[in-house]
Amino acid sequence: MKLSLHILVVSNDSKTIFKIGEMLKMEQEVVGMEVVDIDNFATGTYNIDKYKILYVDFDKEEFLSVIKNKYILDSCKLIFISDLKLNPERLFEFRPFDFLSKPIKDERFKESLGYAINDLANSSFGYYEQDMSNILNRYFIKEKDKYFWITLDDIVCFEALGNYVTIHLESKVIIFYNTLSNLVKRLPRGLFFRANRSFLVNLNFVASIKNSDKGLIKLILRNKFEVELSQRQTVEFRGKMAL
């Protein structure tokens, strides 16, 4: 089942509307989504509550007033578009999920869309969750100048390296800018376990378990990694696994 998205473009700039529409169509298969409709607010009146992603022209005050009155922060992702310098006070007032500068660059658009879907996939929307099932098993990342999806089942573990995170797959390693604390919030629960400050482990890749000399649990992963749990996480793991 594909993720069904209703998207609203709040703008009267025909070039911007066309550009967003074309990029969304190109990304449908890559992202694993079906764009049900791409509406232009300027052509009529719509129920904003049904949309999960709103692209809003920040340069038009009349559009901002509509969003200010009806925009629901927890139900969709608000992405501003502008070719002007933004007033920080106005940004704080609306607290958008992201901001795209005109002319919109393809790679920047892909990055923004990927992060928006990550956030939507890890939020609770009742009936909407079922349509998210195929998205929940993937994570969107940026490595250098490339943007792509990684299937969570293929990840052996995440390892913290300062302000970066290393993704250990069975066949390769990927390094990207993030923190383990942020990843824990975004990843679906149950698949990964926070072993210590440095490692987030995929429990499906645990080959064996043993006790360390310090009385802590040590996880032996299928890629031969040995990850020692912290004292606190040892207690949690024993409770989780009834050890």
What letter does residue 202 receive in the DSSP assignment? E
The answer to whether 144 touches 195, Cβ cutoff 8 Å, is no
For residue 140, tell me if it sits in a domain.
Answer: no
Nearest CA to 71 out of 41, 109, 103, 35 is that of 41
- Local structure of residue 51 (DSSP, 8 states): -
Q: Are 159 and 168 in contact (CB under 8 A)?
A: yes
User: Does 80 fall in a domain?
Assistant: yes
Longest dimension (CA), the chain: 69
Asked whether residue 39 is domain-assigned, the answer is yes
Q: DSSP string spanning 216-228?
A: -EEEEETTS-EEE
How many angstroms separate the Cα of 35 from the Cα of each of 16, 50, 89, 196?
Answer: 17, 13, 33, 40
Q: Note the pLDDT of residue 191.
A: 85
Q: Is 242 left (phi over 0), alpha (psi -120 to 50) or beta?
A: left
H helices of 11-136, in order, are: 14-31, 61-70, 88-94, 106-121, 128-131
What pLDDT, on a 0 to 100 scale, did the predictor assign at position 205?
95
In which residue are the tokens 């995440």 written? 158
Do 114 and 189 sit in the same domain of this protein?
A: no
- What's 145's DSSP letter? T
Same domain, 81 and 113: yes
Query: Is residue 211 classed as helix, strand or coil in its secondary structure?
Result: strand
Same domain, 178 and 72: no
10-residue block means of pLDDT along the chain (243 residues)?
Answer: 70 84 77 58 56 79 61 68 66 74 87 79 45 55 71 92 90 87 78 94 94 92 94 92 72
Note the pLDDT of residue 92: 58
* Strand 164-169 with 173-177, pairing: antiparallel
- pLDDT at position 151, please? 84
Give the per-residue pLDDT at 85. 63
| Same domain, residue pair 36 and 122 | yes
- Please state, in angstroms and rounded to a whole number, the distance separating the CA atoms of residues 106 and 123: 26
What pLDDT, on the 0 to 100 scale, is given for residue 17? 84
On whether both 8 and 126 belong to a single domain, the answer is yes
C-beta separation of 195 from 226 below 8 A: no
**pLDDT the model gives residue 193:** 93
Count the domains in the chain. 2
17-34 as b/e: b if 16+ CB within 10 A: bebbeeebeebeeebbbe
* pTM of this structure: 0.55
Instruction: Look at residue 42 and tell me if it is in a domain.
Output: yes
Q: Are residues 169 and 110 in the same domain?
A: no
Q: Judge whether 183 lies within some domain.
A: yes
